[in-house]
Structure 1
Amino acid sequence: MLSKLQESTQRRLLSLILAMIRRVCPSAGGSLSVDRLLARRNLREPAKPMRTLPAWAVDDMRGLAVEVDTLLSPGAFLQSAPVARYAPTHWVDAGAAYQRILDEVGNRRFDTILFVPWLKRGGADLGALHHATLCHGDLGQPTLVIATEPGDSPWAGRLPRDVAFIDAGEEMAALSGPTREPEIVLARLVLQLAPDRIHIINSHTAWRMLEQFGLALRQQTRVFASLYCDEFTVDGRVDGLAQRHLPTTSHLLDAVITDNSASPESWSNMLGINHDLFKVVHFPAPHMTRAARADAAGNRVLWASRLERQKRPELLLQLASRMKHLHWDVHGTALAADDQVHKELRRLNNVTLHGPFDSFRDIVSAEHLAYVYTSAWDGLPNVLLEAAQAGLPIVAPDVGGIRDLVPARWLLAANADAADYVQALEGLQANSDSRRQRLREQDERVALFTWQSFANGMRRIEGYADM
């Protein structure tokens, strides 16, 4: 009970309890202290002399390095500055979290478990909905979806009615990271439920579970994961789930499922992973009434995405500032209330900031000349499938798997600047024949992005449709 309270409240209550014990039985309470009792609930460092290897162990490792294997030298170990911790002696949170999830599962058996961070507006979240719908409906597999990261899941309501959903994110976040408690809870759950397959979709906790306990999980369960693209840090380094986890888990995976043909090439070349591990399965394009007409175009431009670094909002600002004769409908929200680009866009008379949107069909009209996409990196974003279905020419850079949908000859260079986008948009305005040709080629491509094609692609992956 005390562990559920704030530490300051715990301290006051324990002080009161110890005072009462000492008054009633002085000999029993003499060796107890508030700090000592609180320390038993938390990870803590041992005394300084205990934080490193003793001299005899260092000498022993040096001898083994000479006589057995050079990798046993203590130098590398000591240079990594290992941190020692005393584990709690009666921490029950992990067991309580595991039991709570198990109680919610009840006596149901699931063929498939999908691990997601959460279910909210986003391309990967929509992909998780597609996979859950496929497993439950087309493949007839009882399916459970578990959210593993703290955050709300407003899209959980979009899951098929009989697909079970458990939000365990807050519980996982409250467990001990250094002792791998979240990963232990998930691994025990998989071993207990023994599904035919698990599918990891952007869940950091599930990836770490696979790293720690993958061999045990694979004894009775196939393991699949979805990855879409790499990310890039501010200083230009390649980052993302694939870079962090594929090198240590590729041998544990039955397949890595991705929505584009470009990312597997990059991962095979960069990480040295067998290309056969990757399976390209395009998501279905949504059904949508055609809003734009091939033979007509207005003077408005549509931009709809997150106003964050990946989407290059500063490039959007440059375009809107240079092309004052076009009106820019911008849909999306800034990550920070004081975002400078957002403030600058708000000052432009030819820009309307509409905020977030629920459906693409609600934001597109026949007055739009084109859909402009300015992302610096990507897989194959669903919003481009929506734009193509709506009949808008797509002006985008040749990054990620966008060329799977838009013919490469119509794409701009990956590092295209404002002048490149201006030239492309002016060309669409000046040449209606070129615009119609672009739309014909887009239509031919997007017509292949059907639910049946998606379902057939998943069925071809060994072990996904059946054991």
Structure 2
Amino acid sequence: MLPLSPEVISYNSKSKNGLPISTLNAIHKMNDINPRVYPPFKGCSIEFDYYNKVIDSAYSQFVLAAGEAEYDGIVFIPRIRTGGTDKLLKSYLKVLSVVMKLKILIVCEDSTKSAWTESFEELADVLYLDESYDNNTPNTYIIASIHYYIIQLAPKFIWGFNSRLAYLLIGTYGASLSQYTDIWVVTFAHWIHEISYREFGMIHDYMTSCNDHIKYIISDNSKFVNKLNKQYNLEVDKLIHIPSPNSLIPIEFEPKVKREKIKILWASGIEWNKGVDTLSTIAEELYTRGVHLHIDVYGTPKNNKGSQLLNSFNNEVKSLNNITYKSAFNSFDGLDPKDYDLFLFTSMIEGMPNILLEAAENQMFIIAPDVGGVSDLIINRETGFLIKDSLDSGEYVNRIDDFINLDEHDFNKIRSNLVNHYNKFYTVENAHGLFKSIIKPAL
């Protein structure tokens, strides 16, 4: 990111319209390079006197922070974290930036660093709004500045990636923006409130104000695409399913010996929607039935409620000898997945869980509930075992019994089917083709 020098944002030397001379010179330099019209802005019918020094200054700050690059796409995100949303964006960026060689600018609202900040900055240019504007700059001015910048740049697309700022931008200026760029938003899960169980999410909050201007709603799972279509009667061509490109190249199937004493891996966040209570009940029922196996549990609480949930879980299973909470984990590979026979997933609410893609990449046999986009990956008795009711511990236990009774041929056949299915949909090659089909002009 190009830092803003003190002379650019100072008002010691002003032009006749109130802008610092150094700022005007920088803008004219941009216009000479690109060449753009400033002012008035291309496509704007608003009178020139609207461009007061506050708006002009906000715009010039954004231009200077963005630098002189001709970006092919602009992605809006709230912040860079280490969650599933951010991993999905990283996967998509590897296709857009590395494979397709598109120049991408990420507009990030919060500059708070995370373990993934550096890897994002390697894939795209990142502009941090809270570093580019002081706390007194109204949001409306920032949004107006971004609008002006986009219509001058005319990138191939702008993409709201779970960004409220992007939805406000689209809702306010979508009619203008859609003349100069394709507008995308992403949606990846059907979220239910923990207490009220009411549906929520930005796509629902802003659908009414933004839908007419959005070119594509992109999701990594078909279940949510279909749900949105039914809820809002959207045009089919607007809803795009792009499975997460989890692997750079296809994986090669490796047969495995099925052991007599089964080792099960459970790994996820420790949160209310991850089915931790169901997991403890499953272990208790298996123990009561005298089924000889062991479940290793890995997970990280994300907040105080998660810590309380973990404490409660440990108290519930401490008398059982078939389940153990091991520790938090940083990476799936660090869990030594090849040492396990089965991956057990118990979430109640999901999108397309990254942890399942990692289990599939490691060719694990998977038992998982039919929630969110799980059925895109797990086809019952073909690529794994699919649970109809995510809260039914008895159904999980029955499917684990079925797994135990599989002979080695059927065990490996289902694993092989999973690998073939994964290679067809969850690689960079597949995502590359899908992105090529929606980016105009055709690449």
Q: TM-score, normalised by structure 1?
A: 0.72
**CA positional deviation for 1:304:** 1.7
**Structure 1: distance between partners of 2:87 and 2:301:** 21
| Corresponding residue of 1:443 | 419
| 1:20-48 Cα deviation digits (max 9, x unpaired) | xxxxxxxxxxxxxxxxxxxxxxxxxxxxx
Identity %: 21
Answering whether residue 169 of structure 2 is matched by residue 196 of structure 1, we say no
**Structure 1: distance between partners of 2:293 and 2:158:** 48
| Corresponding residue of 1:223 | 183
| Corresponding residue of 1:21 | none
**CA positional deviation for 1:185:** 4.2
| Corresponding residue of 2:332 | 360
| Corresponding residue of 2:308 | 340
The answer on whether the counterparts of 1:308 and 1:335 sit within 8 Å (CA) in structure 2 is: yes
* Partner of residue 123 from structure 1, selected from 64, 69, 84: 84
Answering whether residue 276 of structure 2 is matched by residue 313 of structure 1, we say yes
Matches within 5 A, 1:145-164: 145-149=106-110, 151-159=112-120, 161=122, 163-164=124-125
**Structure 2: distance between partners of 1:295 and 1:106:** 57
User: CA, structure 1 residues 230+429, in 2 after alignment: closer, same or farther (shift >3 Å)?
Assistant: same
| Corresponding residue of 2:27 | none
| Corresponding residue of 1:394 | 366
* Partner of residue 452 from structure 1, selected from 426, 429, 437: 429
**Structure 1: distance between partners of 2:151 and 2:136:** 19
* Partner of residue 370 from structure 1, selected from 328, 342, 347: 342
| Corresponding residue of 1:8 | none
1:366 aligned counterpart, secondary structure: helix
| 1:112-145 Cα deviation digits (max 9, x unpaired) | 1111222222222122123322222332322111
| 1:259-299 Cα deviation digits (max 9, x unpaired) | 12211211111112122211112122336798993533653
The answer on whether the counterparts of 1:297 and 1:368 sit within 8 Å (CA) in structure 2 is: no
2:355 aligned counterpart, secondary structure: helix
1:394 aligned counterpart, secondary structure: strand
User: CA, structure 1 residues 174+465, in 2 after alignment: closer, same or farther (shift >3 Å)?
Assistant: farther
User: CA, structure 1 residues 464+117, in 2 after alignment: closer, same or farther (shift >3 Å)?
Assistant: farther
2:398 aligned counterpart, secondary structure: helix
| 1:29-74 Cα deviation digits (max 9, x unpaired) | xxxxxxxxxxxxxxxxxxxxxxxxxxxxxxxxxxxxxxxxxxxxxx
Matches within 5 A, 1:87-106: 99-106=60-67
AA at the equivalent of 1:328: I
Answering whether residue 433 of structure 2 is matched by residue 461 of structure 1, we say no
**CA positional deviation for 1:175:** 5.6
User: CA, structure 1 residues 184+323, in 2 after alignment: closer, same or farther (shift >3 Å)?
Assistant: farther
Gaps of 5+ in 1: 1-89
User: CA, structure 1 residues 297+283, in 2 after alignment: closer, same or farther (shift >3 Å)?
Assistant: farther
| Corresponding residue of 1:136 | 97
Higher mean Cα deviation, 405-414 or 252-261?
405-414
| Corresponding residue of 1:13 | none
User: CA, structure 1 residues 105+426, in 2 after alignment: closer, same or farther (shift >3 Å)?
Assistant: same
Total equivalences in the alignment? 374
User: CA, structure 1 residues 289+442, in 2 after alignment: closer, same or farther (shift >3 Å)?
Assistant: closer
| Corresponding residue of 2:7 | none
Answering whether residue 399 of structure 2 is matched by residue 430 of structure 1, we say no
* Relative contact order, higher structure (CA 8 A, sep 6+): 2
2:304 aligned counterpart, secondary structure: coil
| 1:156-180 Cα deviation digits (max 9, x unpaired) | 3223736211222577894677x64
The answer on whether the counterparts of 2:151 and 2:177 sit within 8 Å (CA) in structure 1 is: yes
**CA positional deviation for 1:224:** 1.3
| Corresponding residue of 1:75 | none
Larger Rg: 1
User: CA, structure 1 residues 283+341, in 2 after alignment: closer, same or farther (shift >3 Å)?
Assistant: same
User: CA, structure 1 residues 106+297, in 2 after alignment: closer, same or farther (shift >3 Å)?
Assistant: farther
The Cα RMSD (Å) is 3.0
Answering whether residue 375 of structure 2 is matched by residue 403 of structure 1, we say yes
AA at the equivalent of 2:234: I
**CA positional deviation for 1:258:** 1.4
2:264 aligned counterpart, secondary structure: strand
| Corresponding residue of 1:327 | 294
User: CA, structure 1 residues 311+297, in 2 after alignment: closer, same or farther (shift >3 Å)?
Assistant: farther
User: CA, structure 1 residues 465+315, in 2 after alignment: closer, same or farther (shift >3 Å)?
Assistant: farther
The answer on whether the counterparts of 2:147 and 2:177 sit within 8 Å (CA) in structure 1 is: yes
**CA positional deviation for 1:218:** 1.7
User: CA, structure 1 residues 289+445, in 2 after alignment: closer, same or farther (shift >3 Å)?
Assistant: closer
**CA positional deviation for 1:395:** 0.8
| Corresponding residue of 1:114 | 75
User: CA, structure 1 residues 292+379, in 2 after alignment: closer, same or farther (shift >3 Å)?
Assistant: farther
**CA positional deviation for 1:437:** 3.4
**Structure 1: distance between partners of 2:387 and 2:261:** 22
The answer on whether the counterparts of 1:298 and 1:367 sit within 8 Å (CA) in structure 2 is: no
AA at the equivalent of 1:263: F
**Structure 2: distance between partners of 1:169 and 1:296:** 55
User: CA, structure 1 residues 103+153, in 2 after alignment: closer, same or farther (shift >3 Å)?
Assistant: farther
| Corresponding residue of 1:213 | 173
User: CA, structure 1 residues 129+97, in 2 after alignment: closer, same or farther (shift >3 Å)?
Assistant: farther
**Structure 2: distance between partners of 1:362 and 1:225:** 33
**Structure 2: distance between partners of 1:269 and 1:386:** 30
